[in-house]
Amino acid sequence: MIIKMDITNRKTAEEVLTIQIPSYKVEAKLIGSYDIPPLKDTIDTLQRCEECFYGYYSENKLCGALAMKIENEEMDIHRLIVDPDHFRKGIAQSLLSYAERQEGIKRINVSTGSKNTPAVRFYEKNGFQKVKEVIVNEQISLTFFEKNVIHE
């Protein structure tokens, strides 16, 4: 079940952080750098991020989350995280599909570490197009994707 979360609530922010850190540690290992912003988040930074959070719950346990901002009919996905204990269960797909169904959205933008092959393949499989690659430093480069959304 996917529900909107109130990230300004301390308990909710704690809950998100308990899956965000292990999820991004997996990405950090894949890209070869633990110097990525999501690993530096705290309860306070999450509460102040001004992103809209949706949680995927199974048996009242948070298993995944999506955080986004919407402006001018464009959605920017800032986080799409799944608890590593729940990888390969379709949770990321469910969250992304939920995001794509939001009314009034014409484009979705997202980025991931270029060396995060599972995430790159996931976005490509879902019809996202590579827009650009940005080299952050010697270890990290980001690949940016976009997808035009057509509501029927």
Residues constituting the chain: 152
The pLDDT of residue 152 is: 61
The pLDDT of residue 140 is: 85
DSSP E strands, the chain: 2-5, 52-58, 61-71, 74-82, 107-113, 129-135, 141-148
Angle at Cα 38 formed by Cα 92 and Cα 71, nearest 5°?
70
Asked whether the CA dihedral 14, 18, 24, 28 is positive or negative, the reply is positive
Walking along the chain (152 residues) 10 residues at a time, the average pLDDT comes out as 96 97 94 90 96 96 97 96 95 96 93 93 97 87 93 62
Q: How far apart are CA 85 and CA 149, in angstroms?
A: 31
Specify the pTM: 0.92
